[in-house]
Amino acid sequence: MKLKRLAAFGASLVLSLSSLFVFAPSMVHAATVTWDGGGDGTDFSDAVNWAGDVVPNDGDELVFPSLSGAGASRILSNDLLTSIGSITIQDGADNPNAYRYTINSSVGVTTFTLNGDITVGDNQILSISHSVDLGADVTVTLNDDNSSFGISGPMIDLDTLSSTLGS
């Protein structure tokens, strides 16, 4: 009798543990999300602005294509309550006139949280114009003399920022 109960208990335990593995949530890894501006062309929350029509999630790496053309610039609105893994502006054309991306805050988004590095490609400019929280050690890489990065809002954890010139 005790042997039957022990066998039944063992079978129940094995079944319970195996279902735990089947129904366990999968690990979510940061994705690389590329801006294509196909939606309204400004809001981070507009899925159609991102390749694959998927809005970035916490920790995702954001990639913006280089801008080109005389005086090219884009003003974008970070209207997501999410932290960003990293930001990369791809290299632009060989032109002494740099092209500018500006990321503004949106109503309800008080802080831009960045947990990864920033890379600004050749002949590109990135400006962030709201409060920035550097949630980890952040390195800003400017790929050439015509690349620049600026923040025109308060910075939190400034001691975690370092910079390099050249890729």
Q: How many domains does the chain have?
A: 1
Lowest mean per-residue pLDDT among 15-19, 131-135, 152-156, 158-162: 15-19
Any idea what DSSP says for residue 51?
T
- pLDDT at res. 21: 43
Q: Is 87 exposed, middle or buried (0-12, 13-18, 19+ CB in 10 A)?
A: buried
Over residues 48-81, the pLDDT tens digits come to 999 999 999 999 999 999 877 767 888 998 888 7
Distance CA 101, CA 41 (A): 12
The whole domain housing 46 covers 27-165
Computed from CA positions of residues 156, 87, 115, 148, in that sequence, does the dihedral angle turn out positive or negative? negative
Asked if residue 59 is part of any domain, the answer here is: yes
> Which of the four pLDDT bands, split at 50, 70 and 90, describes residue 123?
confident
Share of the chain above pLDDT 90, in %: 26
Asked if residue 152 is part of any domain, the answer here is: yes
Question: Taking 50 as the threshold, does the pLDDT of residue 14 lie above it?
Answer: no
Quick check: 124 and 149 in contact, CB under 8 A? no
Asked if residue 90 is part of any domain, the answer here is: yes
Asked if residue 83 is part of any domain, the answer here is: yes
Backbone angles phi, psi at 100, to 5 degrees: -115, 130
Of 13-17, 90-94, 95-99, 120-124, the range with the highest mean pLDDT is: 120-124
Over residues 126-141, the pLDDT tens digits come to 998 878 887 767 888 9
Over residues 34-44, the pLDDT tens digits come to 999 999 999 99
Asked if residue 21 is part of any domain, the answer here is: no
Mean pLDDT of the chain: 78
Asked if residue 13 is part of any domain, the answer here is: no
Question: Taking 80 as the threshold, does the pLDDT of residue 110 lie above it?
Answer: no
